[in-house]
Structure 1
Amino acid sequence: MRMLRLVVLLVALVACGMIVGSPVRAADLKITEMAVTTKISRNNPIDAVRRISHRSVKALYCFTRIVNPGAQETVIRHVWYKDGTMASEQELTVKGEKWRTWSKKPVDAESVGSWRVEAVDSTGKVLKAVEFKVH
């Protein structure tokens, strides 16, 4: 009987999110900053690209600053779209309450077009998106 009560208590604590290791609710993640940048310096973007020549850089980065209440490890995805078609997708681990992460996309002559990067949570919900053009 005592063991049954312990199991019931553990199940209740996990369901309430009170035991470490329980999944982060996707609705709890908040993106406080998201930018496409030409470079990351000291874990921060140096600029925010809106329009850029494909000749001026070899790669672009999508920087994302996240607030993750409870600081439990989870993942987000950066989904890169060119002219409305998915071009790439990168899974990024979030390991703390305040976390910074980024993905990288090579740039060349084939990159010319309208771009959008979406930050997507584990349920597929778009948390934030940024748009830019490569000419």
Structure 2
Amino acid sequence: MNRNKMVLALAMLALVWSGSLLAADSGIHRAQFTTAVEDREPIDSVTELGTDHDRIIFFMEVRGMEGAELVHRYRFDGEVQAEVDLAIGGPRWRTWSSKRLVPEWQGTWTVDVVDSEGEVHGSWSFEYSDDHVPEYPAENGDD
């Protein structure tokens, strides 16, 4: 192979390789349940939540999906309870949705991230239960 063909082959290989890196970097970069978002960042990561909380937030950061329409589909015991539409406005986009909870809805909650074609890009779950309510010690000697 002469020098020009080798340079061209290496350049093509570099383009293919960099394109696959870009493709691998697109999609959901981070996703988690949290109890609050401050300065566009989740304050904690929730996998279990007590019934002393009445709201959950699902936070995600996506990359390379500018212009996409995504949905956070909240399911409880397999049944869809809510869908929240989200427009992705930039190449790196942080967004979130929230769901009100009541103590009667104890069990496994799941959020599916779904695109406009119906493709599920991922699913995340947490447990909502009385078992996760912290016990607070009695104050001032009260029993």
Q: What's the counterpart of residue 82 of structure 1? A: 76
TM-score calculated relative to the size of structure 1 = 0.73
Aligned partner of 1:62 among 38, 58, 61: 58
The amino acid of 2:106's aligned partner reads: V
Cα distance, 1:98 vs structure 2: 0.2
Whether 1:134 and 2:131 are equivalent positions in the alignment is no
**Contact 1:58-1:106 at 8 Å conserved across structures:** yes
Cα distance, 1:43 vs structure 2: 0.5
**Contact 1:34-1:128 at 8 Å conserved across structures:** no
Alignment of 1:76-115 (within 5 A): 76-115=70-109
Q: What's the counterpart of residue 11 of structure 1? A: none
Alignment of 1:19-34 (within 5 A): 29-34=26-31
Structure whose alpha-carbon radius of gyration is higher: 2
When you count helix as a share of all residues, which structure comes out higher? 2
TM-score calculated relative to the size of structure 2 = 0.69
Q: What's the counterpart of residue 50 of structure 1? A: 47
Q: What's the counterpart of residue 40 of structure 1? A: 37
**Percent of matched pairs sharing the same residue:** 30
Cα distance, 1:128 vs structure 2: 1.4
Cα distance, 1:122 vs structure 2: 1.2
Encode CA deviations 1:73-124: one digit per residue, 9 max, x unaligned. Answer: 2210000000111111110110000001111101221221111101111111
CA RMSD in angstroms comes to 1.7
The amino acid of 1:63's aligned partner reads: F
Gaps of 5+ in 2: 1-24, 130-143
Gaps of 5+ in 1: 1-27
- Once residues 79 and 131 of structure 1 are traced to their aligned partners in structure 2, the CA distance between those partners, rounded to angstroms, is 11
The amino acid of 1:100's aligned partner reads: R
SS class of match (2:118): coil
